[in-house]
Structure 1
Amino acid sequence: MLTQYLKYSCYVLLLGCLAISGCQKLEDINHDPTKPTVTQPQYLLTGAEKSAMDILYAGPQNGRIGMPYAQYWTGNDKANDSRYLLDELINTNLWNTLYTVSLHNLDEIIKMNRAKPITESTNQIAIAQIFKAWIMQILADAYGNVPYQDAYKLDQGIFRPKYDGAKAIYAALLDTLKTQVAALDPAAGSFSNGDVIYNGNVDSWKKLGHSLMLRLAIRMVDADGEAANARAIIEQNYQAAMTSQADDAVFQYIAVAPNKYPYNDSERELSEFFVSATMVDYLKSLNDPRLGVYVRPSKIDTVYRGLPYGTSETEPSRLPPGNYSYPGTRIYAADARGFVMTYSEVEFILAEASARGFATGDAATHYTNGIKASMATWGITAADTINAYLARVPYDQADWRNVIGSQKWLALYPQGFQGWFERVRLNFKKPGGEPLFIAPASGTLDSKVPFVPYRLTYPVSEQQQNTQNYTQAANDIGGDTKGTKLWWNKNN
Structure 2
Amino acid sequence: MTKTILKYSGALLLTVSLAISSCTKLDDMNRDPTKPTTTEPQYLLTGAQKSAMDVLYSGLQNGYIAMHYAQFWSGNARVADSQYQLDQGNNNTIWNTLYSYSLHNLDAIITMNQSKAGQPGVANQNAIAHIMRAWVFQILADTYGNIPYTDAFKNTTDITPKYDDPQAIYKSLIDTLEAQVKILDASQTSFNTGDIIYSGDVESWRRLGHSLLLRMAIRMVDASPEKAKQIIEAHYQQAFTENSQGAQFQYVDALPNRYPQNDEDRPIIDFAISTTLLDYMKGLEDPRLPIYARPSTTGNEFVGLPYGWTTSDPQHQTDDHYASPGKQIYSPTMPGILMSYSEVEFILAEAAARGMNVGDAATHYTNGIKASMHYWADLTKTTISDDTINAYIAKVPYAAADWRNVIGTQKWLALYPQGFQAWFERTRLKFKKPGGQPLFMAPKSGSLDASVTEGVPYRLTYPLPEQTQNKANYDAAASAVGGDFKGTKLWYNKF
Cα distance in structure 1, aligned partners of 2:7 and 2:79: 29
> Hey, which bits of structure 1, 4+ residues long, moved more than 6 A?
32-35
User: Does the CA contact (< 8 Å) of 1:2 and 1:100 recur in 2?
Assistant: no
User: Does the CA contact (< 8 Å) of 1:2 and 1:99 recur in 2?
Assistant: no
**Shift in CA distance, 374/409, structure 1 to aligned 2, threshold 3 Å:** same
User: Does the CA contact (< 8 Å) of 1:204 and 1:247 recur in 2?
Assistant: yes
Cα distance in structure 1, aligned partners of 2:47 and 2:33: 12
How far 1:36 sits from its partner (Å)? 5.1
Aligned to 1:190: 190
Cα distance in structure 2, aligned partners of 1:345 and 1:173: 20
Aligned to 2:256: 258
Aligned to 1:128: 129
SS of the aligned residue for 1:39 comes to coil
User: Does the CA contact (< 8 Å) of 2:222 and 2:493 recur in 1?
Assistant: yes
Q: Which amino acid letter does the alignment assign opposite residue 471 of structure 1?
A: D
Q: In the TM superposition, what whole-angstrom CA distance separates every residue of 1:362-393 from its partner, at most 9, and x where no partner exists?
A: 00110011001101111154111111111111
Q: Which amino acid letter does the alignment assign opposite residue 477 of structure 1?
A: V
**Shift in CA distance, 37/392, structure 1 to aligned 2, threshold 3 Å:** closer
Cα distance in structure 2, aligned partners of 1:210 and 1:267: 37
Aligned to 2:295: 297
Q: CA RMSD in A?
A: 1.5
SS of the aligned residue for 2:15 comes to helix
Aligned to 2:239: 241
Aligned to 2:230: 232
Aligned to 1:453: 457
Cα distance in structure 1, aligned partners of 2:264 and 2:197: 23
Q: In the TM superposition, what whole-angstrom CA distance separates every residue of 1:116-138 from its partner, at most 9, and x where no partner exists?
A: 33311100000000000000000
Cα distance in structure 2, aligned partners of 1:235 and 1:481: 35
SS of the aligned residue for 1:107 comes to helix
Q: Which amino acid letter does the alignment assign opposite residue 411 of structure 1?
A: A
User: Does the CA contact (< 8 Å) of 2:346 and 2:364 recur in 1?
Assistant: yes
Cα distance in structure 1, aligned partners of 2:92 and 2:156: 25
Q: Which amino acid letter does the alignment assign opposite residue 412 of structure 1?
A: L
Aligned to 1:311: 309
Aligned to 1:9: 14
User: Which residues of structure 1 form unaligned runs of 5+?
Assistant: none
**TM-score, normalised relative to structure 2:** 0.95
Q: Which amino acid letter does the alignment assign opposite residue 144 of structure 2?
A: Y
The size of the alignment, in residue pairs, is 483
Cα distance in structure 2, aligned partners of 1:384 and 1:34: 46
SS of the aligned residue for 1:114 comes to helix
Aligned to 2:83: 83
Cα distance in structure 1, aligned partners of 2:218 and 2:195: 28
Q: Which amino acid letter does the alignment assign opposite residue 418 of structure 2?
A: Q
Cα distance in structure 2, aligned partners of 1:307 and 1:236: 44
SS of the aligned residue for 2:248 comes to strand
How far 1:480 sits from its partner (Å)? 0.2
Q: Which deviates the most, 102-111 or 21-30?
A: 21-30
User: What pairs with 1:426-441 in structure 2 (closer than 5 Å)?
Assistant: 426-441=429-444
Question: Match for 1:488 among 485, 492, 495?
Answer: 492
User: Which residues of structure 2 form unaligned runs of 5+?
Assistant: 1-5, 378-382
User: Does the CA contact (< 8 Å) of 2:292 and 2:326 recur in 1?
Assistant: yes
Q: Which deviates the most, 310-319 or 352-361?
A: 310-319
SS of the aligned residue for 2:63 comes to helix
Aligned to 1:403: 406
User: Does the CA contact (< 8 Å) of 1:21 and 1:44 recur in 2?
Assistant: no
Question: Match for 1:463 among 453, 463, 467?
Answer: 467
1:22 aligned onto 2:25: no
How far 1:21 sits from its partner (Å)? 4.1
**TM-score, normalised relative to structure 1:** 0.96
Aligned to 1:418: 421
Cα distance in structure 2, aligned partners of 1:131 and 1:456: 22
User: Does the CA contact (< 8 Å) of 1:161 and 1:469 recur in 2?
Assistant: yes
Aligned to 1:137: 138
Q: In the TM superposition, what whole-angstrom CA distance separates every residue of 1:165-203 from its partner, at most 9, and x where no partner exists?
A: 001000000000000000000000100010000000000
Q: In the TM superposition, what whole-angstrom CA distance separates every residue of 1:325-344 from its partner, at most 9, and x where no partner exists?
A: 10000000000010000000
Q: Which amino acid letter does the alignment assign opposite residue 405 of structure 1?
A: G
